[in-house]
Amino acid sequence: MKKLCLLILCALSTPIFAQTSTLRNEVIRKADSLENQVITWRRDFHEHPELGNREFRTAGIIAKHLQSLGLEVKTGVATTGVVGILRGAFPGPVVALRSDMDALPVTERTPVAFASKVKTTFNGREVGVMHACGHDTHMAMLMAVAEILSSMKSQLHGTVKFIFQPAEEGVPEGEVGGAEEMVKEGVMENPKVDVVFGMHIFSFMPVGTITYHSGGATAAVNGMKIVITGKSSHGAQPWNGVDPIVTSAEIINSLQTIVSRNVNITQNPAVVTIGAINGGNRTNIIPEKVEMLGTLRSFTASDEQLLISKVKQIVTNVAAAQGATAEITIPYESHYPVTVNNPQLVEQMLPSLKATAGADNVIAGTALTGSEDFSFYAAKVPGFFIFLGGMPKGGDPKTVAVNHSPDFFVDESAFPLGVKAMCNMTLDYMAANSK
């Protein structure tokens, strides 16, 4: 009887595993055949970058491609977002796949022929525009995933929702956007999403590898704005004023004690960074105001509140000690929660990644102090966000230009693996969870 039960179980399991194996081979063939097209798409996006909430050309190209595949397409979601729905021939789970679309206010320095020469205005300043974080590659790879999975529509056990999201990097002051707005506008509903997968390429991870972290994978972020107001005076007579520049310098140094003396770094990492300071316009004038912009990173709610509380305490008291006043805005521009990779989903999908990349190339890494608004999707349903290696073979992760750098560069040979990983996770999840 026991042997009979095992035979029945094997018989019932065979069609799904055979189908998955067949589709996996098809994924390999089609992903390899689309490699040049992915590179072409990526280079076009790279040469014509657009900032958050302004991805109009980008969104148009994506929407046109999804429509050509026969998908149900909705545009203008959260300003410029594009959503495509692929309904398989058989019932099953709804799998969401997400790519970000926006570029950064960075002037490119790479020597590639398709380097961006775009300039625009951001927060009142003229800036260069560059895909310095790999979103151009994410879009191109997900467009290929859509093409491959669409060609398998008659064999799909479920629905795939392709989410092309604007403004992951944030938006100018006074605007809203990104994943939070996509969720508010119902992107996780109609049809209701069961699981969400995402991917990010990194220039310091070796090409051919996929890195993951179960649990809190990327940090919560709080942007902050600090305005110190003193009293302007002649630079030759500082005793007649209250110097906001000296006050700001003391504040910046004091803020570093938050992590070094207040956070238990044996449990979770944390970061306090001032990324911009602006004040004054002449050598001999002490200005009235100085503005600082910065970011806070943490992995727990308690640490997040600790950072915010300590920043306010230090800034207010140091300013008061100097006779200045402080205005503190937290969050400013951005506030993303921790991106949590659902441990059960990670465990379920690891065999898929290992079969795709090879077991030795799937690496359990540490959490990253970078942030991701993929966290808003993963707060609604189980999510899994993976990291794709883009560093050329033989590169040194300590010296390569990292994401957000004007010299940021990734090896285009990484793209087929990214396409295969997203396709196979989708197909394997469907096979394991279809009714």
Give me the active site residues, please.
102, 168
Rounded to a whole number of angstroms, the distance between the first and last alpha carbons of the chain is 26
Q: Which of 25, 23, 57 is nearest to 41 (CA)?
A: 57
Given a contact cutoff of 8 angstroms between Cβ atoms, the answer to whether 407 and 401 are in contact is yes
Q: Which of 241, 249, 229 is nearest to 289 (CA)?
A: 229
> In a 3-state reduction of DSSP, which class is residue 382?
coil
Alpha carbon separation from 276 to 108, 128, 222, 295, 368 (Å, rounded)? 19, 17, 15, 10, 22
Nearest-angstrom CA–CA distance, 222 and 224: 6
User: Is the bond preceding 49 in cis, omega lying within 30 degrees of 0?
Assistant: no
> In a 3-state reduction of DSSP, which class is residue 195?
strand
Residues with Cβ within 8 Å of residue 190, at least 6 apart in sequence? none
Q: Which of 268, 388, 301, 334 is nearest to 102 (CA)?
A: 334
Mark out the alpha helices in 227-374 (DSSP H runs). 244-255, 257-262, 301-321, 343-357
> In a 3-state reduction of DSSP, which class is residue 31?
helix
Supply 296's token pair: 């806070």
Query: 98 pairs with which residues across the strands?
Result: 163, 198
Alpha carbon separation from 58 to 51, 53, 72, 287 (Å, rounded)? 10, 11, 18, 42
